[in-house]
Every structure is written in C-alpha cells, then in structure tokens.
Amino acid sequence: MFYTSTRDNSIKLTASEAVLKGLSDDGGLFVPSEIPSLDISLDKLGDMTYQETAYEVMKGFLSDYTEEELKNCINNAYDSKFDTEEIAPLVEAEGEYYLELFHGKTIAFKDMALSILPHLLITAAKKNNSDKEIVILTATSGDTGKAALAGFAGVEGTRIIVFYPKHGVSKVQELQMVTQKESNTKVIGVLGNFDDCQSKVKELFADEELKALMNEKGFQFSSANSINIGRLVPQVAYYVYAYGKLVKEGRIKAGDKVNFCVPTGNFGNILAAYFAKNMGLPVNKLICASNDNKVLFDFFKTGEYDKNRDFILTKSPSMDILISSNLERLIYLSTGRDDEKNKSLMADLKEKGKYCISDDMKAFMTDFVGAYASEEECAAKIKSLYEDTGYVIDTHTAVAAAAYDKYSKECNDDTVAVIASTASPFKFLKSVMTAIDSKNEKCDDFELIDVLSKTANVDVPQAIEDIRSASIVHDTVCEISEMKKLVMATMGL
C-alpha cells in the first residue's frame, strides 16, 4: 500500500510517511493506492472487541506498520480513557441506532481517531528515522482542538498549536481548549470563522520559507485535522464495529445492508463510512446530513460546489463549515484518480469559490445522499426524542436524526439505519436544554450541568467536571493575518 497526493500522482509514500507528513507539499491530500478488503467474514465481526476490529480495519491501510507496532498503538489508544468498555456503544431509539462516539476523554467523536494519532505519529517518526520535533498545527471548528490537545499534551518530541474561531464554538468547547495546562500546547482564538482558520493553516503548510526555517531549527509540521490520513483511517473502524454489533444483537443478518447517517462539516467522518463500504461492508446509502450551512446538501443535489454564500453560526458549530476539505478525496476518486482534473477543480474553488463536477463524477457518488435539517427541526427533534424515549442527543446528532427522518420519509427507505452520534449533549448544554424546555435559555451553561445529568439520567462526564473550576491558561486572540507570526513566535523562530 502506498499513498499519493490528490494533486500529483507521481508522489508515492508509505503509510507512515503520509501520516508523518500530514498534508502534501502541493496542498493535496494523501489517498491510498487502493481500498483494502476486509479479510474477515461479516458474521465473525460481532465476536470481536473494538480493539480487534480496529486492527482488522487498519492493518490494510497502514501496511508498513508491523503487527506489533499497530497493535501497540491501538491498545494504548482504546483503553481506560474511554468511559465504556465497548468504546462505541449502539443505542436504539425510535427504531434507529445511535452509534455513540463520545465516550472518550473529550466527549466528542474526534477522540476515536485522536487517541491513536499521537501513537501512529511517534511510531512513524521512529520508522522513518526522523530526529525533528513534530509540530502539530491544526484548525478546529470546536472538537478536533481539544481532542488533539488531549492526545498530544505532554507527548515527548511534539508540540501542538491549535487555532479556533473565537466566536464560533460553544462555551464548553472553548473552556476545554483554553484550560489545557501542558507546556507543549498553545491555543489561539482567531477573529474569523473556521474556514478562515483552516485555509490559513493550509497556507502555512505550503509556505516554503517557513518550512525551510523550521527544518533548520529542527522542527517538522504535521496535522491532527482529518486531512491527515492517520486521522481518517481509525474512523473507518467504528462503522465496521457498529455493523458487527448489529449482527451480534440479531438486528440484522450478516450480509444485510445498512444506512449510515452522518452529521457532516469537513466530510472526514462520512468519507470514513465510504471507505468502510469499499472495504466490503454492506452499506446501502450514506446520508450526508447538513445544518443551515448546507453547501454539501446543495452539492449532492446539483453537482455544483459553491461556497459563495453567507456563513451562518448555528447551534451545531462544529458543522459550520463552507470548505469541506475531505471532499477533495472523493472528488479525486470520482475523476478516476485524475490529479490534473482534481487540481483544476480545486483551483476553481480557490479562485472562484465554486466548481462543477461532470455527470460521470456525479454518477460515481450515488452512494451518497444529501439531507438537511434547519435549526428549528433540530431543536424539535431533540425535544421529541427526549419526550418519547428519555434519550437526549446533542445538536450535531440532532442534525443527522432530523435529516434522516426527512430522508426516510421522502425516499420510503426502511433500511436499518445507524446515526453517528458525534458529541455528548454536555458539550452543548444550553442549546440542548433550551430545546427540551425554553425556560432553560435564561440559565448559564454551568447551571445546566446537573439539570442535564438529571434529565438524561446519566452521570456528568469527567471532561465537564474538569472544567468547572479550571483556570484559563491560553488567552491569545489574533487576526487571521497574524497567525503565521504567532506560529513563529510560539516556536521561537
């Protein structure tokens, strides 16, 4: 298995080289030369632990990691830092299955990949005889930041710099980041939106002058965003695990198809489900659920990707994205791996803010269905699901749940559905509790912690307990134009 860039087919890297590099020098994303097949029968998946499933999924993608190396990374990642033994539980509510991906250290789905990425990176550095200090440079729409900070905090040979939109995350999300104590961490609020942060970070990765200076001083950039293939590959595992659980519990028979509905912003999470399907998992449709920033919904409907629209701040801030970076991997595959065609489309996006795909490319994407739910529909879904079942979901999961209701009704699709539940409702306390009862709108987030615990009949997660009294460590705020200067200052360059 080797990895090539979506913008240059002449590039061929091993998996560990691609993980270590993060983003290609040409601005492209690394894609595997092929999608490996699952070499275990579907009826045996249900008898496997999460760790065993992860190994079976990841070994084909990360083929230059030895069995011992990869198993060591997996066992170090998926351990007692998760508050459930099964790592990713499935919960049935109103006939659908919610795949709870928020039982890690920072109570969001990013933990599923960012718990293992530091181990993959450090192993990759040793394999490739890299003596440089790894600098993780990442942009976050809210959850990646804290999960990356938690993964890399205190890890020898690494530093991490996180940029987040100062006014574009929830109070809990911000506090989780700015209270990070370890000396190898730096968190910076940006006076802009997530797309601004992400675009600038990509610019810094491509900055030859900065790279030369970093190299001279013994530093090397890498990424914790889902643009890093080491972030994407671990996410494939939980879709395969969910399927095995459904088989084991008798919800489906081995070979039956399922639908996956995923709340989608940067497109990495749903792309992982697509990779799972291409490994041989029986999947009917991948429902790409959008909030009011419905650039992906419009794309799958029309074949035109157009970011020239108002950026809307919603109650599901991790999805407030107009440039879905991981979509480039699907675009590249849909061209028949034509790097020049993909490069041309990405140039159109940068210069004109939009591009159109061909009919053949659109036909390639028939596994995907765009769906959409408004703020009002999401709030109504949180309320009705709680009132009918007692189950409480967060605002991002509500986007998927409400969008799936509309999809299944419109398409008359009764396929067994798995909804990716991407964050704990405790991360979005006020929005969740206000949806359940409007009187909660007058309360402060922290006043609602114990109210939500009682309402949902679940314990307050440790991640929330930790920030109740934590001190602010990171208070830097900057303009977009100042991001490079701050990176250099942080590195002492």
Residues 6 or more apart whose Cβ sits within 8 Å of residue 80: none
The predicted-structure confidence for 438-491, as pLDDT tens digits, reads as follows: 999 999 888 999 999 999 999 999 999 999 889 999 999 999 999 999 999 999
Question: What is the number of residues in the chain?
Answer: 493
* pLDDT value at 397 more than 90: yes
3-state secondary structure of 369: strand
Counting runs of H as helices and runs of E as strands, what totals does the chain give?
21, 16
* Range with lowest mean pLDDT among 21-30, 336-345, 362-371: 21-30
The predicted-structure confidence for 299-347, as pLDDT tens digits, reads as follows: 999 999 999 999 999 999 999 999 999 999 999 999 999 999 999 999 9
The predicted-structure confidence for 69-114, as pLDDT tens digits, reads as follows: 999 999 999 999 999 999 999 999 999 999 999 999 999 999 999 9
* pLDDT value at 376 more than 90: yes
Q: Confirm if 253 and 247 have CB atoms less than 8 A apart.
A: yes
Average pLDDT for 424-450: 94
In the annotation, is 110 catalytic?
yes
DSSP 448-485: GHHHHHHHHT-PPPHHHHHHHSPPP---EEE-GGGHHH
Q: Which of 110, 200, 277, 294 is catalytic?
A: 110
CA distance 312 to 458: 32
H-helix segments, 169-292: 171-178, 194-205, 208-216, 229-248, 268-278
pLDDT of amino acid 142:
83
pLDDT of amino acid 21:
93
Q: Confirm if 420 and 261 have CB atoms less than 8 A apart.
A: yes
CB burial of residue 450 (10 Å; 0-12, 13-18, 19+): exposed
For residue 143, which amino acid is it? D
pLDDT of amino acid 367:
97
The pLDDT > 70 percentage for the chain reads: 100
Give me the residue label for tokens 């909030």: 291
The one-character DSSP state at 217 is T
The predicted-structure confidence for 234-252, as pLDDT tens digits, reads as follows: 999 999 999 999 999 999 9
* pLDDT value at 197 more than 90: yes
CA distance 274 to 285: 9
Average pLDDT for 223-243: 94
Q: What average pLDDT is seen over the chain? A: 95
pLDDT band at residue 225 using 50, 70 and 90 as cut-offs: confident
pTM (predicted TM-score): 0.94
For 325, phi then psi, to 5°, come to -55, -40
pLDDT of amino acid 445:
86
pLDDT of amino acid 11:
97
3-state secondary structure of 221: strand
